[in-house]
Amino acid sequence: MVALDEDDSLDVPGSLEELSLLLGNLGITTTGISIQRRSRPDPGSFIGSGKAELVGAEARDLGAGLIVVNGSLSPGQAAALGRLTGLTVWDRPLVIMKIFEDRAQTGEAKLQIELARCRYEIPFLKGLGLQMSRPGGGVGTRGPGETEFERHRRKLERRIREINRKIEAIRERRKDQRKHRARAGLATVALTGYTNSGKSTLLRRLSGDTDLPVANKLFSTLDPFIRRVRLPGGDPVLFTDTVGFIRDLPPDLVAAFSATLEEVAAADLVILVADPSSGRYEEDVEVVEEVLASIGAGTVPRIIALNKIDRIGPETAETIRSLAVRSGDRVIPISALRGDNIPELLTVVEGMLFMGRGKECASC
């Protein structure tokens, strides 16, 4: 793995630890780490040609066949790094995209991943097109390579249009479903949070549905799961579990999953599930808040559910809760695994949903 230490604002060791975990979810073992301190990425090769050649030699000595950059590479930087190191080069967005591809089970999820991948690949075709066109002659000529490049680009653009039409149909269907739920008087609560924070385990606990898939791995949920949950006062509410977020989530993925993420923006209430045992609670919450704002869900009323308190103990959970409360958030420490404070969470959900609806909360 290769990283830049540009300033003191980024937790480079923590970010690399997370990248190693991402690679582990793809079955890839990290054999070495190279960190370079510089004020900004080298525009040509991200880390500079001399450093790139050194990294390539070190990687080959370790028996590595892949260089993974903890950042986003331009097409030119990726090509230069590959040439200078003599190895395959990935960047962090591509790693995340590959995990999404690996996790996709339904046709809808696969469509959204394919859309993101097509959008990701088009800029890289420009560099490929230059390489392919070289045998074709000088400036102004249309060699066979350039023609092949244009053909591939048109193919991708055509596929993007096809997928967009299908996703638009999914979006309209979801919109109709939300209208139907609204007419039935069913409120919706969206579970959001950093990936692997325990959202699916919480939905399983709330709904009592033991058939809901739960896995201790990143991005185990790509498709929204909706379950009916009865509140303490007896009213039914729909809880939705959607895709988790992560640092440097590729914009192409966020855009491709817009039909799915609209479920969050359209919710009456958001429960932001956070894992204080990760050691990066505040940073994780900040990442989730940024994504929520980008999808139009930043103003939806919310509760922070401090999950996995069974891992940190009540004293630490209370300290973190106090810090969060001072920021103005409603915070409930819970353990979705053991069921700690789940009744309290549901009571708070009930109170916030009925607030301003002109309906009395039977259990508040």
For the chain, 364 residues long, the average pLDDT of each consecutive 10-residue run is 78 87 91 89 93 94 93 92 93 90 83 90 67 40 60 91 92 87 89 90 90 63 78 94 84 81 90 87 88 91 92 75 71 92 96 69 50
One domain for residues 46 and 64: yes
- Provide the pLDDT for residue 133: 43
Q: How many helices (H) and strands (E) does the chain have?
A: 12, 10
If asked whether residues 110 and 241 sit together in one domain, one would say no
**Has residue 171 been placed in a domain?**
no
- pLDDT value at residue 122: 86
Structure tokens at 196: 């692997």
Identify the CA nearest to 247 among candidates 201, 278, 209: 278
Beta bridge partners of 35: 3
Whether the CB-CB separation of 329 and 304 falls below 8 Å is answered with yes
- Say if residue 122 is in the same domain as residue 29: no
Q: Are 48 and 81 in contact (CB under 8 A)?
A: no
CA–CA–CA angle 174, 261, 224 (5° rounding): 65
Question: Which domain CATH number covers 208?
Answer: 3.40.50.300
Residue 337 in any domain: the answer is yes
Widest distance between CA atoms in the chain: 79
In a domain, 343, yes or no: yes
Residues 79 and 109 in one domain: no
**190/296 same-domain check:** yes
Give the E-state strand segments of the chain in sequence order.
2-5, 34-37, 66-69, 88-91, 187-193, 225-230, 236-241, 269-274, 302-306, 330-333
> Are residues 36 and 131 both part of a single domain?
no
Pairing relation of β-strands 225-230 and 302-306? unpaired
pLDDT at 315: 73
Question: Residue 18 maps to which CATH number?
Answer: 3.40.50.11060
The separation between CA 28 and the C-alpha centre of its own chain, rounded to angstroms, equals 19
Strand partners, 68: 90
Do 89 and 121 have their domain in common? no
Structural domain span for residue 156: 105-165
Query: Final residue of a domain: which of 81, 99, 117?
Result: 99
What is the phi/psi pair of residue 104, to 5°? -60, 125
Per-residue confidence (pLDDT) for residue 137, from 0 to 100? 37
The answer on 261 and 302 residing in a single domain is yes
pLDDT at 140: 38
Report the amino acid identity of residue 23. Answer: L
**What gap in Å lies between CA 160 and CA 119, rounded to an integer?**
8
Q: For residue 188, which phi and psi values (nearest 5 degrees)?
A: -125, 135
155 domain-assigned: yes
Which tokens go with 272?
A: 């932001």
Residue 194 and residue 343 share a domain: yes
Task: Give me the pLDDT at residue 357, please.
Answer: 54
In-domain check, residue 363: no
Q: How far apart are the first and last CA of the chain?
A: 52
pTM of the full structure: 0.81
Whether 149 and 229 map to the same domain: the answer is: no
176 within a domain of the structure (yes/no)? no
The verdict on residue 326 lying in a domain is yes
Q: Do both 158 and 219 map to the same domain?
A: no
Q: Give the burial class of 135: count Cβ atoms within 10 A of its Cβ; 0-12 exposed, 13-18 middle, 19 or more buried.
A: exposed
> In this structure, is residue 242 part of a structural domain?
yes
Q: Where are the beta strands (DSSP E) in 260-348?
A: 269-274, 302-306, 330-333
Structural domain count of the chain: 3
Are 269 and 210 in a shared domain?
A: yes
Quick one: how far is CA 233 from the chain centroid? 35
